[in-house]
Each structure stands twice: as structure tokens, then as C-alpha cells.
Structure 1
Amino acid sequence: MPSYQLTPNIVGAGCQDGHMNQVVGAREASEAVEDAGWRFLLGSLRTSVPVDSLAAAIGLAADAVAICGDAADQHLAVDARPHRVVFTLQSVEHAAVTTLDVELALLISAATGALTVPAVQTLEIAIDALEIAAIRPFWKAVLGYADEAGADGPKDPIIDPVWQSPAIWFQQMDQPRPQRNRIHFDLCVPHDEAPRRLEAALAAGGRVVSATRAPAFWVLSDLEGNEVCITTWQGRD
């Protein structure tokens, strides 16, 4: 496992110095933070910390912001609730996990104590389209969405600028398929959670439509053919 040491000036200068803040690959990022209670979810690091009250949640969030220092606004997102706090680390500039995000994750874990396997996931919505460039502006406008950093092309995904709603991406179709849904959910879970989620879905009446791209994703459906993909970071290199 890589060893990351945070020197005092990196938090303040990491966003400006490209040598200090490099994008990290999926496997390296996952292995670097896994034992500290974080999980890599398609371009971000996430962990969930149980708390007893909203006041405790806000206090923990404030501690994390202090730990991140000047880098907080460009790397840290916090969802604080009475029973848990979810921390997300991702470089806004790169829309990816960087060496600084890894280092901040380890610092936050050290401050909050040992963490168990986090209950975290990311939901995306995929829209099948024959002409992605033709429909993307509509979805961007009607939802009030925005381009992700470095991804403003006519076929790129769009995101909620305040990170409250799922990202939307567009899947290229080669021919019309009116017999099936053209919108499906992509649920990104930690790689070690995927087998349990699959088992639960199948026990609840679901079926596997395709596992040819596993562990990157499994395509499942309910009894009426409505589809959802369970995805992980693995198998995407």
C-alpha cells in the first residue's frame, strides 16, 4: 500500500502546485484509503461517520474543514445529518481524486478515529440516445445542471452544481429500441459491497441481464424488465 505523508505546506499550496496535486488512478486511490475507512467511487473518495446528534455532526464537519485548511473549498464536500456525516473528497479542478485528496482523507480519518466499512454509494442516471448532442442541452437546461470540470463536450455527462442530485450521462444507441426503457439507473457502490448488493437484489426477485463487464458493472432488471446497473471502480483500466 502506498504511504502518503502530508507536509504542512501541501494543504495550502497543493491546488497551485501540480507536482503536489496529481490525479491518482482508481486502484492506487482505493488501496491508499481503504484501511482508513474510505471507499473510491468513480472519481471521488467517500466515507460515512456515525454520530449521535446534529450538533456532533456539525462539529465533526467543522473539524474536517479545519484539517483541510485552504484546500477545503476545492476538495471537500460534507453532508451532515443527526445520525451520520458523509465526507466526499474530490478535486473540483480535475473532477477526479488527486494525491491531495488521498492525504486529506487519511488526515480526517486520523482525527475521527478508526472507521468501519462506510455505508456510501453514488447514484447516476443514464439516458440512451441516438443524438446525444441534440438532447444534452435540454436536460442541462431543464434540470439546472452544469458541465463537470474538463468535460464540456457535446456528449459529456452533466452534474448538479451543488451535488444534491445524481449525475446524468448519455449512452450512445446505434438504433432505436422502443421495446426497452431508455433511462436506467447506475448505482456505484464500494467494490467490496457489490457482491452483497447483487445477492440482495436477486433474492428480492431481480435477475442478471448481463455480467460480461463485471466487476465494472452488472446489468440487473426487475420482473418487468426495468434495468439498473450496479457499478464499481474495478475493471475499468
Structure 2
Amino acid sequence: MDDERGDDRVTLRRPEAAAALTPLGWRYILGIATTSVRVDSMRQAVEVAATATGTCADDADGHLWADVRPDRVVLNLQTLAVAGVTARDAWLAGRISASLDAAGLDNGPEVGGEGPRSVQVVEIGIDALDIAAIRPFWKAVLGYVDEAGADGPTDPLIDPCRQSPAVWFQQMDAPRPQRNRIHFDISVPHDEARHRIDAALAAGGTLRYDAEAPAFWVLADPEGNEACITTWQGRD
């Protein structure tokens, strides 16, 4: 392992990852380093993805994936072998940002405003009395797989193609028929949370719970269906 490239065996703590990535125009969200690059065409988007891949060189396969669209490219870095952000990912983020800057491309953060939404990661939470009993069903029906190092009977599930939200299971002690038992977790950059909450409240939502903010806020739509806005803060 080359010291300059950073250790890829140890996951960074959340504050360490955020501190390393934010100055580079990247955001730390739910164990992933992510950034959005604005482009003018699909051709340019493919070029951006190629630049990032070339910059990562041999590390690309184990760390980088991209969502390529005509108006933006979302680049994600994670050490897949440990399912977390390591010093190697922070090092790669710096190199990719330098390459993008040299090409005249901007991967700075988007916070609030009228432009495209900020980067985010969405999960689906399922309440269950017997997680081990229902997990195989959701794994089969969604075509999902275990995340690296997390193959236990109560662990989350992920899309092997990384196109759809991960699913995690919340242990319940008793049935809860009065509330929905499946909810969305929307993980956003910590400085985007207030904007997203305010927008949801202005759209008719209500704030149900904020005692554990800034780790998460529980919001509900006008019929009581819940969603959580979450950040990395308040968890370490």
C-alpha cells in the first residue's frame, strides 16, 4: 500500500471523512463520497466519467462509480471492500477534483437555491417484528444483495447495480398499525438539511420528531406518511 495514496483498509470516521472531502467540492453522505459535475451534453458527461476513471487508474474498479446524464454527472467514491470511505477515497477525490478543475469544470456543492437539488442518498426503512424472517423476501423480490461485511440476518440490503435505494430494517417491539411501516430516509449534506426541511414544511408537511437532530428529523405528509431527513452529524 502506497502511503501517498492513503490506506484503503480502514474506514474514516464521519467527521474525518467530511473534513477531508468538503474542501475538495465533495460531500460525505451515508458512507459515500459524492459530488455532482454540471455538463452541457451527454458527450461531455461521458468525457467527465472517462476523466474520473482515468484519474483513478487501477483504483477505479474498487472505488468509483458514476451516474451519467446529459446535464450532470454524479461521481461516487467508496472503498467497496469495506463499504465505507477510506483515506484512499479522499486521495482519489482530490485527484479527480484537480482533473476537473484543469478541464474548466465545476464540482462545487449545490446548497438550496433554485438550481438542481444537492447530492443525496435515499434509503427505505422497513419496520419489522422479526427482521430475520422478512429480510429474505425483500432480498429476493428486489434482486438485492448483501453489502460488503454485512451479511447478517438483520443487516441492510443494497442494489448490486447501485441504481435503487438501499433497504434497512428497524426493529419493532410491538405492532404499530396506526402508522405506516415503510418510510424513506433522505440523507443530504449537513448544510442542506434545513433547506430540505423548510421546503417539506412549506409543501404541507409537519415536523414529527427532532430530538436527535442533526442526525435525523422525522417529517410527515398531510396524511401522516413519514420520511426522515438525515445527515452524518450527531452520530459520532
TM-score, structure 2 as length reference? 0.92
**Match of residue 86 from structure 1:** 74
In 1, Cα distance between equivalents of 2:54 and 2:100: 13
**Match of residue 133 from structure 2:** 134
In 2, Cα distance between equivalents of 1:186 and 1:20: 28
Superposed, which structure 2 residues align to 1:130-169 within 5 Å? 130-169=129-168
In 2, Cα distance between equivalents of 1:147 and 1:195: 32
CA contact (8 A) 2:207 2:219 kept: yes
CA contact (8 A) 1:6 1:103 kept: no
| 1:115, distance to aligned residue in structure 2 (A) | 3.0
**Match of residue 108 from structure 2:** 116
**Match of residue 31 from structure 2:** 43
* 2:60 matches 1:72: yes
In 2, Cα distance between equivalents of 1:186 and 1:107: 31
CA contact (8 A) 2:9 2:82 kept: no
Which SS does the other structure have where 2:57 is aligned?
helix
Kindly provide the CA deviation profile for residues 168-208 of structure 1, in whole angstroms up to 9, marking residues without a partner as x: 00000010011110000000001010010111111111111
**Match of residue 34 from structure 1:** 22
In 1, Cα distance between equivalents of 2:193 and 2:3: 32
CA contact (8 A) 1:218 1:230 kept: yes
2:51 to 47, 63, 66: 63
| 1:20, distance to aligned residue in structure 2 (A) | 5.5
TM-score, structure 1 as length reference? 0.91
In 1, Cα distance between equivalents of 2:29 and 2:3: 23
Which SS does the other structure have where 1:192 is aligned?
helix
Q: Do the aligned partners of residues 236 and 182 (structure 1) sit closer, same or farther apart at CA in structure 2, a change above 3 Å counting?
A: same
**Match of residue 196 from structure 1:** 195
**Match of residue 210 from structure 2:** 211
Kindly provide the CA deviation profile for residues 43-64 of structure 1, in whole angstroms up to 9, marking residues without a partner as x: 0000000001111110111111
| 1:6, distance to aligned residue in structure 2 (A) | 7.5
